[in-house]
């Protein structure tokens, strides 16, 4: 069950990442749905998998912004990147995390 959980989280994150560029609101929702569908284990476990998939996406995006800002703008980019990364992580908990959580909960309810 534990292996299935992390497989679902990673696959859901990848689906949310790919679809997030094409469909910004629907992408995280579908990514959370895929994570919850793979994980099974009821609504709570599926929603938790969706939430983790969204959080991982937020962390990866913030790291890319931090590295990209540092490479292109030097020390100023590092400072701006840190501030931007904090904003992205906080907003991603609200945006990606909650949308992915809802998608996972829907998958858990359907799969029950």
Provide the 10 A C-beta neighbour count for residue 5.
19
Q: What is the pLDDT of residues 29-52, one digit of tens each?
A: 999 999 999 998 889 999 999 999
The structural domain count of the chain equals 1
Residue with tokens 């990866």: 60
Q: What is the mean pLDDT of residues 75-102?
A: 80
- Taking the model in full, what pTM does it have? 0.81
Cα–Cα distance, 112 to 104 (Å, whole number)? 12
User: Is the pLDDT assigned to residue 74 strictly greater than 70?
Assistant: yes
Predicted confidence band at 102 (pLDDT cuts at 50, 70, 90)?
very high
Q: For 53-72, what is each residue's pLDDT tens digit?
A: 988 887 887 787 778 777 87
Its domain, for residue 46, covers 2-111
Q: How confident is the model at residue 1 (pLDDT cuts 50, 70, 90)?
A: low
């Amino acid at each position: 069950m534990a292996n299935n959980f992390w497989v679902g989280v990673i696959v859901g994150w990848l689906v949310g990442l790919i679809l997030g560029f094409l469909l910004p609101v629907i992408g995280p929702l579908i990514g959370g749905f895929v994570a919850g569908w793979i994980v099974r284990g009821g609504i709570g476990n599926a929603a938790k998998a969706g939430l983790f998939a969204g959080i991982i996406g937020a962390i990866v995006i913030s790291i890319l912004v931090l590295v990209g800002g540092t490479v292109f703008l030097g020390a100023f980019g590092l400072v701006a990147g840190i501030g931007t990364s904090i904003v992205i992580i906080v907003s991603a908990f609200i945006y990606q995390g909650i949308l992915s959580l809802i998608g996972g909960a829907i998958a858990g309810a359907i799969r029950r």
